[in-house]
Amino acid sequence: MTTPISQDPGGSVLGFHYPLPVNCKTECYLPVPIGTSTNIQLTQNPFCHCVIPNIIKDQDFVDRLQEEILDLTFSEKNNDLYKFHQSLEDLKVIESPLISRLRSFIYKDLLKWIQEVTGIELNNNVDMSCASYRYTDILLCHDDELDDRRVAFIYYLVPKSWREEDGGSLDLFCVDSKGEPREIVKSIHPKRNTFVFFEVGPTSFHQVSEILTEDKTRLSVSGWFHGPPVYRPPAYVEIPPSPQPYLSIEEEEFYSWINPLYLDPETQAEIKDTFKEESQIELHCFLQEDKYEALMTVLKSKSDSQWKKQGPAHKRHYWSLDNESPDIVQSCVRFLQSDAMFLVLSSLTGLRLHELAQVSDDDDSDDECDNKKDTKGQAMCRSVVRRWTHGCYTLVHDSDIESGSWALDAVLFIDCDDWKPEYGGVTSYIAKGEKEELLSVCPKANGLALVYRDTETCKFVKHLNKLITELPNKCFYDISSVYYE
């Protein structure tokens, strides 16, 4: 026999575990509980948010609601920003009895109360879906601000046994003077039958931390309340580091680095034919073995203090090495930025990266290629030495300093033997505004990955998840160079 849904004296479809303090508007967003009997937290730091624990009185309803949600069809969502499973249909159109009653509760009781307590004008447009986060799933840093979204919400249906070390927390970021996320200042850990909401705005940066448990699922109902759009200040635009012209190095130094196979004219011709056809190629064993081993040894010996964290979190998170140390690492960077390297890359790709490069009549000859670049100038290059550890990634964003120009990406991978795509760390290329992946590059030790991209192609490095902590070194390195004709 079906148990009737609890109702409060006011006639709500679902009764709150305690009366919501709808008369607390003057105390809104104080960083203290609103009433000792409720434990409702309305807080303004780092941005306005609220936590309502044990929100629904009828625990049997909560259990049966979960069963009903688990009967829905879920599909995987996977891109640069996130990896999780989401209900295939918006809960607006689901007519199953318990989901319908939850929807009515959110659309009527909660919408009215949130509008009352926050003073935010809301309309009747509410988005609502179910999300299932499993082992290594994540939602990286973003601000949720899109069109007329005004308030985001999450209702947790995690197991009662969920612990802080299981991950899946809602992490809130403070911002710097440029309005960009600086660091996590609060983590709200999932708890069954808890409802969380926060105001969506230019500084509402947040993330769902990686799921670290293999035997539990972070199940939730989430969405947005909509209202009239508000002003959003222009986003800060980064100034990219300037690329530099090629360097002159001693001939002997250059030859000491490169595998002589890639200096052979027949090999170069074969590689160029493949590259012209596919605009990408991976060159195995690119460095001479002794140099590669020495380079790897020095990189692994670098202390944590020598690596600088690169952000902000809504664009990237990895570690870079400064350019000051006069060791084999900088010698390798000079090799990659040398005039001889520009010339070799011209021979391998057919691109005009050096004035001495021999370009055949059919290289870069059609009208499309003639029109794809602005005025030709001296070829330039920019390089960075990076360390990739658990939690590192890069994201596609509107002000991406890497987009907007035709360029040759050349990434030299180090200390990543037997790397698997499921670890993360894969570089993905996509067309702007599209979901379909054009190309993915998995790290291969001592491999040089060459990819020629146009102005409509974006790239990102997929989040490195907990699986890499099981590896001996728990990280890998690369030297990423970008060449411009």
Lowest average pLDDT, out of 33-37, 137-141, 225-229, 291-295, goes to 33-37
pLDDT score of 461 more than 80: yes
The pLDDT assigned to 361 comes to: 52
Arithmetic mean of pLDDT, 269-273: 98
Which is more confidently placed, 360 or 278?
278
Arithmetic mean of pLDDT, 433-457: 95
pLDDT score of 188 more than 80: yes
pLDDT score of 14 more than 80: no
pLDDT score of 25 more than 90: no
Domain identity same for 278 and 402: yes
Which is more confidently placed, 188 or 36?
188
The pLDDT assigned to 147 comes to: 81
The pLDDT assigned to 379 comes to: 96
Largest separation between any pair of C-alpha atoms in the chain:
87
Arithmetic mean of pLDDT, 387-395: 99
The pLDDT assigned to 12 comes to: 42
pLDDT score of 468 more than 90: yes
Domain identity same for 353 and 453: yes
Domain identity same for 187 and 284: no
The pLDDT assigned to 1 comes to: 31
The pLDDT assigned to 306 comes to: 93
Q: Structural domain of residue 460, as residue ranges?
A: 244-484
The pLDDT assigned to 300 comes to: 96
pLDDT tens for each residue of 249-261: 999 999 999 999 9
Arithmetic mean of pLDDT, 323-332: 85
CA atoms of 356 and 352, how far apart (whole Å): 9
The pLDDT assigned to 50 comes to: 96
- Which residue, 3, 135, 21, 143, is CA-closest to 59? 3
Domain identity same for 462 and 335: yes
Lowest average pLDDT, out of 69-73, 117-121, 401-405, goes to 401-405
Domain identity same for 212 and 352: no
The pLDDT assigned to 79 comes to: 96
Which is more confidently placed, 441 or 33?
441
The pLDDT assigned to 28 comes to: 35
- Domain boundary residue, one of 226, 259, 276: 226
CA atoms of 279 and 267, how far apart (whole Å): 17
Cα atoms in the Cβ-side hemisphere of radius 13 Å centred on 56: 28
- Which residue, 178, 149, 413, 195, is CA-closest to 295? 413
Q: What DSSP letter does each residue of 305-327 carry, written as one string?
A: GGEEEE--TTTEEEEEE-S---S
Rounded alpha-carbon distances, angstroms, from residue 246 to 78, 287, 326, 352: 38, 19, 18, 13
Q: Strand pairing partners for 459?
A: 429
The pair of three-digit structure tokens given for residue 423, joined into one six-digit string: 């670890």
The pLDDT assigned to 36 comes to: 40
- Which residue, 61, 36, 41, is CA-closest to 51? 41
Domain identity same for 471 and 338: yes
The pLDDT assigned to 400 comes to: 72
First-to-last alpha carbon distance for the chain, in angstroms, is 74
Domain identity same for 174 and 33: yes
443 preceded by cis ω (within 30°)? no
Domain count across the chain: 2
Arithmetic mean of pLDDT, 235-247: 92
| Residue 81 pLDDT class (50, 70, 90 cuts) | very high
Arithmetic mean of pLDDT, 400-428: 92
How many helices (H) and strands (E) would you count in the chain?
A: 9, 25
Q: What DSSP letter does each residue of 32-54 carry, written as one string?
A: EESSTTT--EEE-SSS-EEEETT
Any domain includes 157: yes
Domain identity same for 62 and 111: yes
| Residue 10 pLDDT class (50, 70, 90 cuts) | very low
Beta strand 149-156 pairing with 32-33: unpaired
Domain identity same for 431 and 463: yes
* SS3 (DSSP) at 342: helix
The pLDDT assigned to 324 comes to: 72
Going by C-beta distance under 8 Å and a sequence separation of 6 or more, which residues neighbour residue 301? none
Domain identity same for 203 and 254: no
The pLDDT assigned to 403 comes to: 67
Domain identity same for 102 and 33: yes
Any domain includes 19: no
Contact between 484 and 380 under an 8 Å Cβ cutoff? The reply is: yes
Rounded alpha-carbon distances, angstroms, from residue 233 to 85, 118, 179: 33, 22, 9
Any domain includes 411: yes
Domain identity same for 205 and 250: no
| Residue 13 pLDDT class (50, 70, 90 cuts) | very low
- Domain boundary residue, one of 170, 198, 226: 226
Any domain includes 465: yes
pLDDT score of 398 more than 80: no
CATH of the domain at 95: 2.60.120.620
The pLDDT assigned to 362 comes to: 57
Which is more confidently placed, 22 or 285?
285
Which is more confidently placed, 41 or 46?
46
Mean pLDDT across the chain = 89
The pLDDT assigned to 367 comes to: 46
pLDDT score of 34 more than 50: no
Which helix (H) or strand (E) segment holds residue 278: the answer is helix 265-278
Of all residues in the chain, the percent with pLDDT exceeding 90 is 77
The pLDDT assigned to 31 comes to: 36
Arithmetic mean of pLDDT, 444-452: 99
